[in-house]
Amino acid sequence: MAEILLSVVKIAVIVFGFVMLVASLMTLLGDRKQSAKIQNRIGPNQARFFGFSLAGIPHFLADGIKMILKENVTPAQSNKFLHTIAPGLVFVPALVGWAVVPFMDHYCTGTVQTLPQMNYTEVCVGGEWKNYFSIMHFNSGLLFAFAIAAVSVYGAAIAGWASNSKFSLLGGLRSSAQMISYEVSMGLSLAGVLMIYGTLNLNEMVRMQGNMFGDWLPMWGVVVQPLAFFLFFLAGLAETKRAPFDLPEDESVIVAGYITEYSSMKFAMMQLSEYAATVFIAALIAVIFLGGWQVPYVYADGIRFLDNHWVPFGEDAWYWISIFLRIGAMVFKILFLVWLQFMMRWTLPRFRYDQVMTLGWKILLPLSIANLFVTALVLAIL
Amino acid sequence: MGNVTVKNVDRIKQTLWEKSYIPEILRGLSVTTSHFFRNLNPNKEKRTIFTREYPEVITEYPERYRGLHRLMLRDDGQVRCVACMCCSTICPADCIHIEAGEHDDPTIEKYPTVFVIDELRCIVCGLCVEACPCDAIRMDSGRHIPPSLERDEAFFDRDLLMELGGLSEAKQGGQR
Ligand code: SF4
Ligand code: SF4
């Protein structure tokens, strides 16, 4: 019973408290305010609470109310059933993937010790690890995340097909072709990382990234696999269907792609899940390449740099401080990556569709295979 | 007909540096990021925001802005227009309606009994101002044409136009 309650609390905090909050704030802060700042504008500030514009936050509520009150139009010749469930098919995978994202190491009921002689591995002495900071402890977490991310394309394809509109159909096709092309290089770019860490468990992966090269350089994914980081970031951008890869909803060519025929809350759900997918990809990049919840030199039993070891505020207090520092680091990394993705969106113009395919199949794929090959060679020699 | 000549335009060759895109993308990112952070500066003076917050802050129009028409006045406050019809003739939108009447003063001859401009039809070209021989119509009121819910409200008649009017700098009586 306690287990179930714990899971429910974790789901509520992570999915609704964090993901949905970030995703819905992104619609306003990321999309409109950030673009406004980049383009030397002010951005939306006209919806006010008692005369205060509050950095445009009331717009976010106004949008919600507008979306709910709008008429929900279903095209006459469309497949009503599929048209109705498609937003759900897009929305659910965007949230389910969060089950395996660790926001912090497991909680140790005993005391944590860091072993510098064993490459700064943390062990739990006189107690056991309790999984409090990720929804699910899952040995093949990465596979699960990938499977879920791939499933979300069904929603887009079905939405495109069920709308009975040429634009929607084209959008759905573009979206599925793009997803399939980039999934390949995404997976291959990660193969090198998997070879190095030797695990599919995301939390284990983050722990390995606490290891040090020569006592001072954290073994983050971006350090050991810089090319893979770059490939994964690009492929991730393409996966989330945001500009410069937003061909599935290329408004100058196919109106709004697979969401052309959607209105009201269904439209809002489509949009929100796109933002949620952006946050999810950011979380994956943070976990795999940027050390997840790791803060360099900060360990559960104090700060270690080279041969020095400090324990500020005493052992017990420091354990809690390190927990908050690490959760903060994870959240910060995710927000930073989301910010970076939006920066890319407002910096680069949209590709042509053939360019997207060329980039995916002719550049990213060979590069990721080469990366895999070189990594394998280096690992075999070492 | 003349021969077709082909002019070869050399394509600008991209260097390998540019073709790899990454340095150029980073350069673009640095531009957008610098704008982003500059416009987050807590000191609002240092931001480079060009938005005009229009209804709250009224924008100053430039001096030669063509706004709402106004009819200029004589020294004694009468309308300066002599109903010569130059403006209504040249008006490309055909939106000036003038009915001339005989003036009591024999030196003036005519004056407009009715002078209506349909501001909805006006395309704000300014030709009427150019055409007027006696500086009787101007568009330098510095206001734009107010919005109206009814068509009739956009018909600005003589007295309304004269309210914005003023004395002309031109001397009356033909002395040069
Ligand atoms: S500004 Fe142009 S369109 Fe308007 S009244 Fe004068 S001549 Fe006609
Ligand atoms: S406003 Fe000027 S151009 Fe028009 S009728 Fe009067 S005097 Fe003539």
Domain boundaries, chain A: 77-381
Compare all CA atoms of chain B with the CA of A38 and give the residue at the minimum distance: B36
Interval between CA B68 and ligand 2 midpoint (Å) = 16
Best of B134, B156, B168 to mutate for ligand 2, by most ligand atoms within 8 A of CB?
B134
- pLDDT for A118 equals 67
Measure CB to CB from residue B29 to each of A39, A41, A347 and give the nearest one: A347
Give the residue, A78 or A56, on which the prediction is more confident.
A78
Residues B77 and B139 in one domain: yes
The answer as to whether B57 is a domain residue is no
3-class DSSP state for residue B159?
helix
Helix, strand, coil share (%) of chain B residues, nearest 5: 25, 15, 60
- The answer to whether the Cβ–Cβ distance between A344 and B29 falls below 8 Å is yes
First to last CA, chain A: 49
B86 and B40 in a common domain: no
Residue A323: per-residue pLDDT: 82
Query: How many whole angstroms separate alpha carbon A73 and alpha carbon A71?
Result: 6
Residue B21 located in a structural domain: yes
Q: Which tokens in the block code for residue A356?
A: 């997207």
The residue to mutate among B81, B115, B124, having the most atoms of ligand 1 within 8 angstroms of its beta carbon, is B124
What's the mean pLDDT in A62-75?
A: 84
Say how far residue B21 (Cα) sits from the centre of its chain: 45
According to the model, what pLDDT value does residue B92 have?
93
Query: Mutate which of B22, B24, B27, B32 to test chain A, going by most A C-beta atoms within 10 A?
Result: B32
A135 contacts A106 by C-beta, under 8 angstroms: no
Look at residue B95 and tell me if it is in a domain.
yes
Calculate mean pLDDT across residues A48-74: 78
Closest ligand 1 atom to residue B93 Cα is 3
Alpha carbon distance A269, A246 (integer Å): 17
One domain, residues B76 and B37: no
Phi-psi region of A241 (alpha: psi -120 to 50; beta: other; left: phi over 0): left
Decide: A55 and A44 in contact? Cβ < 8 Å: no
User: For A8-22, what is the mean pLDDT?
Assistant: 80
Enumerate residue ranges in chain B where pLDDT < 70: 1, 167-176
- Read off the tokens for B55: 């209804």
B123/B40 same-domain check: no
Q: What is the pLDDT of residue B90?
A: 93
Q: Residue B138 — φ and ψ, nearest 5°?
A: -140, 160
Distance from the Cα of B18 to chain A's closest Cα (Å) equals 15
**Cβ density class A87-125: b for 16+ within 10 Å, e for less:** bebbbbbbbbbbbbbbbbbbbbeeebebeeeeebebebe
For residue B66, the CA-to-ligand 1 centroid distance in Å is 10
Q: Give nearest CA residue, ligand 1 atom 8.
A: B91
Domain that holds residue B134: 70-164
pLDDT for position B128 = 92
Nearest CA of chain B to the CA of A129: how many Å?
Answer: 42
In a domain, B126, yes or no: yes
Backbone angles phi, psi at A257, to 5 degrees: 60, -135
Among B19, B21, B22, B39, the residue to mutate for chain A (most A Cβ within 10 A): B39
Instruction: Using an 8 Å CB-CB cutoff, list chain B residues near A348.
Output: 25, 28
> What percent of chain A has a predicted confidence (pLDDT) above 70?
96
- CA distances A233 to A139, A238, A274, A341, B52, Å, are 24, 9, 16, 9, 38
For residue A230, is pLDDT > 90?
no
Confidence check: pLDDT of A313 > 70:
yes
Q: Which ligand is nearest to the CA of B91?
A: 1
Q: Residue B39's closest chain A neighbor by CA?
A: A37
Q: Whose CA is nearest to atom 5 of ligand 1?
A: B122
Total domains, chain B: 2
Residues in chain A with CB shorter than 8 Å from the CB of B33 are 343
Task: Specify the ligand 2 atom closest to the Cα of B82.
Answer: 7
Q: Does B36 lie at the interface with A, CB-CB under 8 angstroms?
A: yes
CATH number at residue B141: 3.30.70.3270
Q: How far is B11 from chain A (nearest CA, A)?
A: 20
Residue A379, pLDDT score: 84
pLDDT interval class at A315 (50, 70, 90) = confident
Q: What is the pLDDT of residue B98?
A: 92
Residues of A in contact with B50 (CB under 8 A): 40-41
Asked if A42 is an interface residue toward chain B (Cβ–Cβ < 8 A), one would say: yes
In this prediction, residues A47-62 reach a mean pLDDT of 74
Q: Which residues contact B39 (CB under 8 A, 6 or more apart)?
A: A37, A38, A40, B47, B48, B49
Which residues face B101 on adjacent strands? B111
Q: Is residue B63 part of a domain?
A: no
Ligand 1 atom 2, closest CA: B125
Find the farthest-apart pair of alpha carbons in chain B and give their distance in angstroms, rounded. Answer: 85
Q: Tens digit of pLDDT for each residue in A260-307?
A: 888 888 888 888 888 888 888 888 888 888 887 887 777 777 777 777
| Average pLDDT, integer, range A356-381 | 87
> Is B33 close to A343, i.e. CB distance below 8 A?
yes
Task: Flag whether B107 is in a domain.
Answer: yes
Which tokens sit at A353? 């569709």
Q: How many CB pairs under 8 A join A and B?
A: 37
The tokens describing A103, both together, are: 């926001």
Q: How far is the CA of B75 from the centre of ligand 2 (A)?
A: 17
Which residue of chain A has the CA closest to B27? A347
Which residues of chain B make contact with A39, given a CB cutoff of 8 A? 35
B78/B152 same-domain check:
yes
Answer yes or no: is B150 within a domain.
yes
Q: Which positions in chain A touch B26 (Cβ < 8 Å)?
A: none
Contact residues of ligand 2, CB 6 A cut-off: B 81-87, 98, 131-132, 134, 136-137
pLDDT of residue B176: 43
Q: Check pLDDT > 80 for residue A67.
A: yes
> Predicted ipTM?
0.74
Ligand 2 atom closest to Cα of B131? Answer: 3
Contacts of B31 in chain A (CB under 8 A): 347
Q: Is B84 in the same domain as B154?
A: yes
pLDDT digits (tens, 9 = 90+) for A95-153: 888 888 888 777 777 777 777 666 667 777 776 777 777 777 778 888 888 888 888 88
Residues of chain B found within 8 Å of residue A40, distances taken between Cβ atoms: 35, 39, 48-51
Q: Is residue B64 part of a domain?
A: no
Q: Which ligand is nearest to the CA of B81?
A: 2
Provide the shortest C-alpha distance from residue A34 to chain B (in Å).
7
- Say whether residue B51 is in contact with chain A using an 8 A CB cutoff: yes
Q: In Å, how far from its chain's centre is CA A131?
A: 21
pLDDT at A55: 67
pLDDT digits (tens, 9 = 90+) for B132-141: 988 888 888 7
Across the interface, which of A37, A230, A348 has its CB nearest the CB of B35?
A: A37
What's the pLDDT score for residue B148? 85
Average pLDDT, chain A: 81
> What's residue A107's pLDDT?
74
